Amino acid sequence: MSVGRTLATARRVLRQLGHDRRTVALLLFVPLFLLTLLHYVFDADPRLFDRVGASLLGIFPLITMFLTTSIATLRERTTGTLERLMAMPLGKGDLIFGYALAFGAFAVLQAGLATAVGVWLLDLDLAGSPWLLLFMALLTALLGIALGLFVSAFAASEFQAVQFMPALIVPQILVCGLFAPRDTMQPALEYASNVLPMSYSVNAMTGVLNGTGVPDHFLRDVAVVVGMALGFLALAAVTLRRRTP
């Protein structure tokens, strides 16, 4: 890996994204719309919105980042762009981490906008610091980037890339503790949730929602999410193919 080549890749991806207004709108404004919609769905029960909304500040960006990253990377491969790039002195790690940096810049904007709208416009009631919530939302969005880069290696078309979402993301949403406490689930589901990264993201956000200061488990949850994100990025670099037949 080379820092210069990684940064050059990130700049190229950012330029491409800057010319795609629909993708920019998807990344930045769809999570805001969904949060606002959820606020009015739970209009009669604000406490329910507080409980669910804090976690969704991270989950919505994860979903949009996962979809956008996986499809964008796959498109590079199917159009032959990736093959031409890798004929140059550009390693797989340069490409993967360049993509992660570029989409990570959008993740910062996305998480910042979503947290600002949730806390200051939609009156999300937090006992803890909104900065901790923002930090965890950003890490969750970066996890979505890492997962999207990883699964793009196994998809042969954009349709297949989208199909990975119900296979990989939706099960995590169901067992992460968003709808029911994890310790009340069937033992097999509880064990499964203990190895899925979204469970730790939701656990950290719930801790910020309910407690002042830094929750006792916050650093552990951050370490797990960061570790898994870096692990999926490394796997994405290993499994990346030059093109799709």
Backbone φ, ψ for residue 204 (5° rounding) = -65, -45
Residue 245 has pLDDT above 60, yes or no: no
Closest alpha carbon to 171 in 192, 150, 185, 141: 192
Domain that holds residue 147: 3-239
State the pLDDT confidence band at 14, using cuts at 50, 70 and 90.
confident
Q: Which residues contact 170 (CB under 8 A, 6 or more apart)?
A: none
CA distance 148 to 62: 9
Contact 157, 78 (CB under 8 A): yes
Task: Provide the percentage of residues in the chain whose pLDDT is more than 90.
Answer: 25
Whether 192 has a pLDDT exceeding 60, the answer reads: yes
* For range 74-80, the mean pLDDT: 75
Segment 81-88 shows an average pLDDT of: 66
* Structure confidence at residue 242 as a pLDDT band (50, 70, 90): low
Q: Which amino acid is at 120?
A: W
- Structure tokens, 144: 């979505």
Inside any domain, residue 244: no
More confident residue, 238 or 242: 238
What band does 58 get if pLDDT is binned at 50, 70 and 90? confident
Q: Residue 245 domain-assigned? A: no
pLDDT of residue 154: 82
Domain annotation covers residue 159? yes
pLDDT of residue 94: 77
Question: CA 238, CA 228: separation in Å to the nearest integer?
Answer: 15
Q: What is the pLDDT of residue 203?
A: 92
In a domain? residue 64:
yes
Coarse DSSP helix, strand, coil percentages of the chain, rounded to the nearest 5 percent: 80, 0, 20
Most confident of 60-64, 126-130, 211-215, 223-227: 223-227
Q: What angle do CA 90, 93, 95 make, to 5 degrees?
A: 60
Backbone angles phi, psi at 127, to 5 degrees: -85, -30
For 182, the token pair is: 């994890």
Residue 234 lies in a domain: yes
User: Quick check: is 121 in a domain?
Assistant: yes
Describe the crossing of helices 92-116 and 46-78 by its angle, rounded to 10 degrees.
150
Look at residue 134 and tell me if it is in a domain.
yes
Are the beta carbons of 241 and 77 closer than 8 angstroms?
yes
pLDDT higher than threshold 60 for residue 244: no
- pLDDT interval class at 190 (50, 70, 90): very high
Give me the pLDDT at residue 54, please: 84
| Look-up of token digits 């994860």 | 62
Half-sphere exposure of 117 (CA within 13 A, CB side): 21
Q: Are 225 and 203 in contact (CB under 8 A)?
A: no
**Lowest-pLDDT range of 99-103, 153-157, 226-230, 234-238:** 153-157
Structure tokens at 105: 């810049």
Percentage of residues of the chain with pLDDT beyond 70: 93
The structural domain count of the chain equals 1
User: Which amino acid is present at 10?
Assistant: A
Q: Is 61 a domain residue?
A: yes
Predicted local confidence at residue 19, as pLDDT: 79
Torsion of CA 192, 127, 111, 174, to 10 degrees: 20
